[in-house]
Structure 1
Amino acid sequence: MIAKKVLLVGNFGVGKTSLIRRFVLNQFSEDYISTIGVRVSSKIVSYENQEIKLLIWDVAGTSEDEKIPKAYFLGAKAAMYVFDLSREETYLKLDEYVGNVKELSGLKEITIVGNKKDLLTEDELLAVKNKVSLDIDLITSAKENENVENAFLKLAANSLK
């Protein structure tokens, strides 16, 4: 079995911890508890006949003017940038945010995930997709367990590149 360090980054309150809890524990809570610093979880996944232990670093959410410590990025093999589909401020400068993550991590590819699909109508979702400056890899809902596993499997795949 191989172990791969992967990161979840994005603004505060976008649902990074909820995605991880849903993926690792199959649990969801409406309670918001802010992550301080970094929290590491792990789960073994199978991808293309390989067992991969994902070491999932849940990096504390930031606001626009905060910087994530570079040390969190060391040794990361893949990263997921999560934004909140219902909060425009989390995706208006997506290209800039993702560019910062690429610069800090040295990763060429970042998985981009729009979370909280359950809070939008189909028309609202389409409007968000039209506003976002980068291609969205997956639209998820941690609450409804929609596309969560797919998002982490994409992360596992990217960690092997």
Structure 2
Amino acid sequence: MIAKKVLLVGNFGVGKTSLIRRFVLNEFSEDYISTIGVRVSTKILNVEEEEMKLLIWDVAGTSDDEKIPKAYFLGASAAMYVFDLNREETYINVDAKIQELKDISGLDTILLVGNKKDLLSEERIEEIRATCPLPINAITSAKDNDSVEEAFREIVVQSLK
């Protein structure tokens, strides 16, 4: 069995914990409980005929002036930057944030995921896609379980590269 460490990072309140909970436990809660430090979850899945243990690090949300400790990235195979589609301040400077993460992590690719799709119309989501500084890899809704599995499968594929 292959074990891969992946990180979910992004501003506070964007739904990182909700995405992980949906993926690992198939649960969703409206209650907001802020993550302090790091919470690690595991899930075993089969990818490309290989059994894989995913160690998912849920990194506490940050604000724009806070930096994620470099130590969190040690041994990481992939990372997902999550933003809230309904809060422009969580994605307006995403290009700089992802470059900063690449610099401290050494990772070539960091998946960009817009969460909370259930709060917006398709037209508004397309506007965000057009104005976001970087291409968005996945649009998800932890609440509706929309594209969550696909986003995590994509991060697994990235971790294999």
- Give the secondary-structure state (helix, strand or coil) at the position aligned to 2:76: coil
Residue 6 of structure 1 aligns with an amino acid whose one-letter code is V
Q: Provide, for residues 23-71 of structure 1, a one-character-per-residue CA deviation record: whole Å limited to 9, x for no partner.
A: 0000000010000000000001111000110000000000000111111
Identical pairs, percent = 68
The aligned counterpart of 1:30 is 30
The aligned counterpart of 2:14 is 14
The aligned counterpart of 1:140 is 140
The aligned counterpart of 1:80 is 80
How far apart, CA to CA, are the structure 2 residues paired with 1:139 and 1:121?
A: 12
Question: Displacement of 1:104 after TM fit?
Answer: 1.2
The aligned counterpart of 1:3 is 3
TM-score by length of 1: 0.99
How far apart, CA to CA, are the structure 2 residues paired with 1:100 and 1:16?
A: 19
Moved over 2 A (4+): none
The aligned counterpart of 1:62 is 62
Counterpart mapping for 1:34-53 below 5 A:
34-53=34-53
5+ residue gaps, structure 1, are none
Question: Displacement of 1:103 after TM fit?
Answer: 0.9
- Give the secondary-structure state (helix, strand or coil) at the position aligned to 1:40: strand
Aligned residues: 161
Q: Provide, for residues 94-119 of structure 1, a one-character-per-residue CA deviation record: whole Å limited to 9, x for no partner.
A: 10011111111100011110000000
How far apart, CA to CA, are the structure 2 residues paired with 1:66 and 1:110?
A: 19
Question: Displacement of 1:127 after TM fit?
Answer: 1.3
The aligned counterpart of 2:129 is 129
- Give the secondary-structure state (helix, strand or coil) at the position aligned to 1:56: strand
- Give the secondary-structure state (helix, strand or coil) at the position aligned to 1:68: coil
Q: Which moved more, 1:123-132 or 1:31-40?
A: 123-132
1:119 aligned to 2:114?
no
How far apart, CA to CA, are the structure 2 residues paired with 1:137 and 1:123?
A: 18
1:102 aligned to 2:102?
yes
Residue 31 of structure 1 aligns with an amino acid whose one-letter code is D
How far apart, CA to CA, are the structure 2 residues paired with 1:36 and 1:8?
A: 14
How far apart, CA to CA, are the structure 2 residues paired with 1:122 and 1:136?
A: 15
